[in-house]
Amino acid sequence: MTLTDLTLPQMLRERARTDGERVAIRQKDFGIWKPVTWARYHERACRFGLGLRALGLPAGGHVGVIAENRIEWVVAQMGAGLVGAVTVGVYPTSPTSEVAYVVGHADIEIMVCEDQEQTDKLLAALPQLPRIRKIVVMETKGLRSYAPEVRQCIATFDEVEQLGAASGAQGLIDEALARQTLDDVGLMIYTSGSTGKPKGAMISYRNIRGVVPGIVDRLQLGRGTTHLSYLPLCHVAEQMLTSFVPVYLGSQVNFGESIRTVQEDLREVAPSMFLGVPRIWEKLHAAISIKVQETGGLRRALFQRAFQACLPLAEKPRSQWSVGERLAFAASYWTVFRALQNFIGLRNARVALTGAAPIPPDVVRFFRVLGVPLIEVYGLTESTGMVTGHRLDDVAVGTVGVPTVGVAHRIGESGELQLRGDMVFLGYYKNPEATAQTLQDGWLHTGDVVREERGQLKIVDRLKDIMITAGGKNLTPSEIENTMKGSPYIKECIIVAEGRRFVGALVQIDYETVGQWAEARRIAFTHFRSLAEHPEVRGLIDAEIAQGNARLAQVSQIRRFHLLTKELDHDDGEVTATMKVRRSSIYKTYAAEIEALYA
C-alpha cells in the first residue's frame, strides 16, 4: 500500500509517524498563537475517538459538529474517523429548526457543540431527536446553569478526551483503521438548501483522495503552504483546504480567535494561500474603494494613476511582462499596492481563490491589478470540492478555468456541465430519487450551464434559474446580478424576469458603504430602512444601475427596481447559511413589491 492509497485517518497516523514534530496547526487563544504538532494532533484525535466509543458510539455511527472553526472541530472529525465513524457538520449560524432537521435526518448519535448557545439549540429540539446519546460541549461557560437532569446528558470536550486516554484501548483504533477502506463514507456534507430542504451528500475517503491531487497541482501547493481557516467547516470548500489537503500534503493550518477577527488574523498570519467566497472579496473591494474616496486628492490621484497603469496586466502572465510593464508595476507596488496588500493581509499570498458562488469580474480584475494572485475556481459539494480553476499563469477573468487532474468533463444537453472521476460523491443520504437524478451512468449532472470562452469554462447560470421573458428572450439572471453587485454600494440584486415584459430587480444596499457615503454628504439616517428610503440614496443606486446597464445587452437591462428596506436574513428563510439567495422564498415574501414594478 502506497501513501496515496491511505484514507484520511490512516494518513493522519502516517503523518504523525513521519512528521511528528512539525507544526500541523496553530490556534490563536487570547492573542497568542499556540502551535500543535502532527504527533499531538493525532494523539488528541485518538483520545477523542476512543472517548466517543466509550460514550457508546458504534462503528459507522454518526457524529455531528456545530461550531466555528477551531482545533476541536478537526480533532472531533479525525477522532470520529479513527474509530470508523462518520462526521456531519452543522452551520453554527443555523436557527434551531434547521439544526433539528439536519441532526434528525443525518441520524446523529453524539453531537459536539461549541458553547452554551449551540447547546441550547440542540436542547430545544431534543424531544424530536431520540437517537441523540450525548452532547459534548467545547466551552464549559454557562453549563452550571442547567438542571441536573439536563447536565447528565452533557459531557465536556476535555472529559471525552480524558475518557479516551483512560480507556487504554489503542488497539481498537488499529483494528478500525485496518478495516477502513477508501470506499467507506467519511463525511456527510449537507447542501445549503437554496431550493428546498438540505440534502446530505455522502463523501467517501476515495472522493477525498481523488480531489486532492487536482487541488495541489492547480494551486501549486507544497508542505510550506500556510492557510487561515475561517469559512464554515461544514462546507466542502473549507474542508478541502483545512482537512483534506493539509493531512495528505503536510501543510499548516491556522485557526484564528473568531470569524469576527479574520481581518486582524490575516495580517498576523500573512498566509501563502487564502480562500474567500465572493462576498468576502466584495467587502474588501468596497472597503478599499471607500478608503480611496475618503483620502486626500493627491493620494486618490496616485491610486487612480497606478491602477490605470497596471490594468492591462490583470490577465497577462508575469512571464510575458515587458521590461516597461515590470517597471510600471514595481513603481505602483512600492507607492500604493504594497500598503493595500498589507491592509488586507495578503502580501505573502502566492495564490488566492474565490469560489462557491458567482463573483463580479471587475472585483477579480481589481485585486489582480493590486498584485493579489486571485483566481476563480469551481466545485460542488457533490464533487468533493474544487474541480476546475485557472492556472496561475493563465487567467481569463469571468471564467472558472479548466478541469483539474483526474476530472473528466462533458457538456450535455442544454449546455449542462457533467463530471466524472474519483471525486464524484456516493449519493444523497436517504434520498435515492435525488441521487438518481444527479448521478446518471457514472456522470455527475451539476445543474450548471457552461460554455467555452477563450479556451476555458464559463459558468452561465444554474439550469433551473435561466429565465424566459414575455417576449421569449432567454436571460441568465446571475450575469445581470453580478454586473450590478460590482458596485460597492449594492450588496444584493435579485432579478425578476420570468414571463415579464422587461427586467425588474429587488436591490439591497450595502449598509456600511452607503452609510459612509451618506455621512460624507451629511445625510441624516438612523437605521437601515431610513437610509434605504432616502431620495438621495435612491438616486445613488439609480446611477449605479445605469452604469451596470451600459455594460449589458438591451434585453438584459434593469428597467425598474425596488430598494429593500431590510437586509436579507437567514432566520427569515431569505438566504441560506452560506448566504445564497433563496429566490422562491424572496419572490413570495416580496410579491406585492414585485407586482408594483410592473403595474
Residues 195, 281: Cα–Cα separation, whole Å: 25
C-alpha to C-alpha distance for 360 and 365, rounded to whole angstroms: 9
For the chain, the average pLDDT equals: 89
DSSP per residue, 154-180: EEEHHHHHHHHHHH--HHHHHHHHHH-
- How many domains are there within the chain? 2
Q: What is the CATH number of the domain that holds 476?
A: 3.30.300.30
Please say if the pLDDT value at position 427 is more than 90.
yes
Task: State the DSSP H helix or E strand holding residue 410, giving kind and residue range, or none if neither.
Answer: strand 408-411
pLDDT at 488: 86
**Does residue 359 surpass a pLDDT of 60?**
yes
Mean pLDDT of 548-567: 88
Q: For residue 2, what is its C-alpha cell?
A: 502506497
What's the domain range around 532? 466-597
At 284, is the pLDDT very low, low, confident or very high (cuts 50, 70, 90)? confident
Instruction: Tell me, yes or no, whether 137 lies in a domain.
Output: yes
Q: What's the rounded Cα separation, in Å, for the pair 589 and 593?
A: 9
Q: What is the pLDDT of residues 44-80, one digit of tens each?
A: 999 999 999 999 999 899 999 999 999 999 999 999 9
Which helix (H) or strand (E) covers residue 332, if one does? helix 323-332
> Of 97-111, 370-384, 544-558, which gets the smallest average pLDDT?
544-558
**Do residues 326 and 319 make contact, with C-beta atoms less than 8 angstroms apart?**
no
Phi-psi region at 220: left, alpha or beta (left = phi > 0; alpha = psi -120 to 50): left
Average pLDDT over residues 257-262: 82
- 242 found inside a domain: no
Share of the chain above pLDDT 70, in %: 98
pLDDT above 60 (res 491): yes
pLDDT recorded at residue 175 = 93
- Is 498 within a domain? yes
- Whether residue 13 has pLDDT greater than 50: yes
- How far from 110 is each of 9, 202, 501, 523, CA to CA, in Å? 19, 18, 53, 53
Per-residue pLDDT band at 193 (split at 50, 70, 90): low
**In the prediction, which pLDDT does 250 show?**
94
Q: Which stretch of 54-68, 137-151, 380-394, 409-423 has the lowest confidence by average pLDDT?
A: 137-151
pLDDT at 330: 92
Average pLDDT over residues 107-124: 93
pLDDT for position 1: 37
- Residue 496 has which C-alpha cell? 425578476
pLDDT average, residue stretch 94-103: 90
Q: Is residue 332 part of a domain?
A: no
Q: Of 180, 203, 224, which closes a domain?
A: 180
Q: Flag whether 420 is in a domain.
A: no
Tell me whether residue 15 is in a domain. yes
**Domain boundary residue, one of 149, 165, 180:** 180
pLDDT band at residue 171 under the 50/70/90 scheme: confident
Decide if 421 is inside a domain.
no
The larger pLDDT score, comparing residue 463 to residue 391, is at 391
Whether pLDDT at 511 is above 70:
yes
The residue among 152, 180, 208 that closes a domain is 180
Predicted local distance difference test score (pLDDT) of residue 579: 67
> According to the model, what pLDDT value does residue 470 have?
76
Tens of pLDDT, residue by residue over 463-483, are 777 777 777 777 878 888 888
**CA atoms 573, 575, 579, 582: torsion sign:** positive
How many CA within 13 A on the CB side of residue 112?
34
Asked if the structure places residue 234 within a domain, the reply is no
Does position 195 have pLDDT exceeding 70, yes or no?
no
- For residue 3, the model assigns a pLDDT of 54
Q: Is the confidence at residue 15, as pLDDT, over 50?
A: yes
| pLDDT, tens digit (0-9, with 9 covering 90-100), for 197-250 | 889 999 999 999 999 999 999 999 999 999 999 989 999 999 999 999 999 999
Identify the pLDDT of residue 513.
87
CATH number at residue 71: 3.40.50.12780
Look at residue 541 in the predicted model and tell me its pLDDT: 93
| CA 13 – CA 6 distance, rounded (Å) | 10
